[in-house]
Amino acid sequence: MHDGCILGIETSCDETAAAVVRSGERLLSNVVSSQIATHQPYGGVVPELASREHLRAIVPVVRQALAEAGQSYQSIDAIAVTRGPGLAGALLVGISYAKALAYALGKPLITVNHLEGHIHSVLLEEKQKGDFEIEFPVLALVVSGGHTHLFLAERVSAERARQWRANEGRGRSGEALRSPRREDADHGWKYENIGRTRDDAAGEAYDKVAKLLGLSYPGGPIIDALAKHGDPQSVKFGLSQIKHPNRGTPRDKQTEFDFSFSGIKTAVLRYVQTEKMSSSIESRRRAMGKLSRPKAADVLPLCDQKTLGLIASFQRAVVDDLVEKTLRAARAREARTLFVTGGVAANSELREKFEMRGAQEGLPVYFPSRQLSTDNAAMIAAAAYPKFLAQDFAGADFSAEASWAL
């Protein structure tokens, strides 16, 4: 019996990543080659450059992941690759490489949804610690540079999970499938998307606000560090700036758990204009341009109290919205456990607030380590394990799915 030693490959955005995970719970290696330096001058990911960098990095990154895991191409049991969502050209690099490798080695190939990967990064680490019993349903907030989604997740039999995916929650004759019983619980997962962003993802708002204020890319880590030095009450962002606009949306498509982060970005821009902050932003941008890998300690002296207050207030508004909407959804859908994952889950204020509010509401909250919060391939190999057990393998005729829904 193979113990499911899976090589994961992830190239959906700006990290070329490969990892080896055994049985969905033993992290043997986790290699991430970041393209931050390539995209930094543009203040965001440039898709063509991302594909070119993936092409350059994919072979050495996979080699390193196998070597660090003490595995060879022959000793792994399967190859898992991100099929979407993400940048089509970037995804195709990982997919073409994974297909070629699987074909040449005669190993099964498993396709994984990037968002499912983020959810499984939590499980991987909790299972690795041992004694992990979670109560279902789980409500997972996946919050990153490309996504802000709420998924209600259940564990179901592998066969049921396959049917669910194929028929969008309907049985053969169109009837709604029963919700799973505990004794059915096996290896499959099913997800219901109960909230999503209507415009920008939360991480995208961090990146755009950082760019607007002349800070470095990606914006999340630097805003996280600087926010600690500002007064979060100094700028009042109204609820209307983070309320999703329902206007023009058909009634059946409306959901009270949707997010919207483009309004707050515009509000920051307006504040910068009314407070005449443009020239100080320009001088900070010039100073930042001279630093190769700017750290918070380098940037702090370049920010006055007004800027730090704006940064802290922006973060407070985003964090409060994410936490309170997630908790409201958890109450409404009777979730028993919360997962918070994706790049923005690395944010310290978000973690603190979720822990505090989760404890008040009697809800256990789990995060991945900071290393596994942002994009990586360990989460892809871990999410592939249930599919490996169910022999849910891909043929050779699939392609990248830039907007693949989970």
Where on the chain is the footprint of Zn ion (CB under 5 A)? Answer: 144, 375
Q: Categorise residue 353: left if φ over 0, alpha if ψ from -120 to 50, beta otherwise.
A: alpha
Catalog residues that contact ligand KG4 under the rule CB under 6 A.
Answer: 13, 144-146, 203, 206-207, 218-221, 224, 342-344, 346-347, 374-375
Using CB atoms within 10 A of its CB, is residue 179 exposed (0-12), middle (13-18) or buried (19+)?
Answer: exposed
Nearer residue to Zn ion within complex by CB, 16 or 144 = 144
Nearer residue to ligand KG4 within complex by CB, 164 or 314 = 314
Q: Which one of ligand KG4, Zn ion, none interacts with residue 219, CB within 5 to 8 A by kind?
A: ligand KG4
Q: Which one of Zn ion, ligand KG4, none interacts with residue 224, CB within 5 to 8 A by kind?
A: ligand KG4
Nearer residue to Zn ion within complex by CB, 4 or 218 = 218
Residue nearest to Zn ion (CB): 144
Nearer residue to Zn ion within complex by CB, 118 or 155 = 118
Closest contact distance (angstroms) between CB of 223 and ligand KG4 is 6
Nearer residue to ligand KG4 within complex by CB, 258 or 375 = 375
Nearer residue to Zn ion within complex by CB, 53 or 277 = 53
Q: Which one of ligand KG4, Zn ion, none interacts with residue 24, CB within 5 to 8 A by kind?
A: none
Closest contact distance (angstroms) between CB of 82 and Zn ion is 9
Rounded-to-integer distance, Cα 18 and Cα 381, Å: 9
Closest contact distance (angstroms) between CB of 121 and Zn ion is 10
Instruction: Please name which of 165, 161, 109 lies closest in space to residue 394, comparing C-alpha atoms.
Output: 109
Q: Which one of ligand KG4, Zn ion, none interacts with residue 95, CB within 5 to 8 A by kind?
A: none
Q: In sequence order, what DSSP letters do the residues of 309-369 get, joined into one string?
A: HHHHHHHHHHHHHHHHHHHHHHHHTT-SEEEEESGGGG-HHHHHHHHHHHHHHT--EE---
Nearer residue to ligand KG4 within complex by CB, 6 or 143 = 143
Give me the residues paired with residue 5 across strands: 22
Q: Which one of ligand KG4, Zn ion, none interacts with residue 203, CB within 5 to 8 A by kind?
A: ligand KG4
Nearer residue to Zn ion within complex by CB, 113 or 280 = 113
Q: Are strands 15-22 and 365-366 parallel, antiparallel or unpaired?
A: unpaired
Instruction: Please name which of 83, 17, 92 lies closest in space to residue 47, comparing C-alpha atoms.
Output: 92
Q: Which one of Zn ion, ligand KG4, none interacts with residue 368, CB within 5 to 8 A by kind?
A: none
Closest contact distance (angstroms) between CB of 156 and ligand KG4 is 26
For the chain, helix (H) and strand (E) counts, in that order, are 14, 10
Cis status, amide bond into 250, omega within 30 of 0: no
Rounded-to-integer distance, Cα 271 and Cα 285, Å: 18
Q: Which residues contact 178 (CB under 8 A, 6 or more apart)?
A: none
Closest contact distance (angstroms) between CB of 202 and ligand KG4 is 7
Closest contact distance (angstroms) between CB of 345 and ligand KG4 is 8
Closest contact distance (angstroms) between CB of 295 and ligand KG4 is 13
What H or E segment, with its residue span, contains residue 200?
none
Nearer residue to ligand KG4 within complex by CB, 135 or 352 = 352
Find the farthest-apart pair of alpha carbons in the chain and give their distance in angstroms, rounded: 67
Closest contact distance (angstroms) between CB of 400 and Zn ion is 15
Buried b (16+ CB within 10 A) or exposed e, 289-311: eeeeebebeebeebbeebbbbbb
Q: Which residues contact 93 (CB under 8 A, 6 or more apart)?
A: 11, 51, 54, 55, 58
Closest contact distance (angstroms) between CB of 134 and ligand KG4 is 22
